Amino acid sequence: MQISENSVVNIHYTLTNDAGNVVDTSDGREALMYLHGHHQIIPGLENALLGKKAGDELNVTIAPEDAYGARVEEAIQQVPREVFGNIPDLAVGMQLHGESPEGPMSVVVTAIADDFVTVDANHPLAGETLHFAVKVESVREATTEELDHGHAHGGDGHHH
């Protein structure tokens, strides 16, 4: 069957950035399972998979607006250093997780000065053109329960 709205899809993928570096891959792991049409993967990839079937392989180039969006300057902020007083080994490149009024967020420390720490809340892949090599492993219809939950369930008896 072809991938359509409410298909449960298993894919193997390798994600490469414009510089040709592998950013993420399902190689050596279980295939990625998702429920098609529910925005669980980036829009550019979901669109490219529509109509594909098990065994299909595709290479997709996805612009930032169909992936993780553009980088925004407002997401880069200077925070008083004392806010991080309880983090003993604070370092440039460190990823920090916290809560914002809009929900969970993560930031990367990009600079540390005497009084201020600069953090960047942009998604690490924001502004990047992404290159996916994808193989469709399987396609099936979602069960009623999966549609109720809005996500796919594994084959090993997943319960809530």
Binding site for Zn ion (CB under 5 A): 149
Place of tokens 């469709």: 136
3-state secondary structure of 82: helix
Residues 2, 51 contacting (CB under 8 angstroms): yes
Give the shortest CB-143-to-Zn ion separation in angstroms.
10
- Closer to Zn ion by CB, 46 or 146: give it: 146
* In 16-151, alpha helices (H): 43-49, 144-149
Give the shortest CB-36-to-Zn ion separation in angstroms.
16
Residue type, 42: I
- Closer to Zn ion by CB, 135 or 149: give it: 149
Give the shortest CB-148-to-Zn ion separation in angstroms.
8
- Closer to Zn ion by CB, 38 or 149: give it: 149
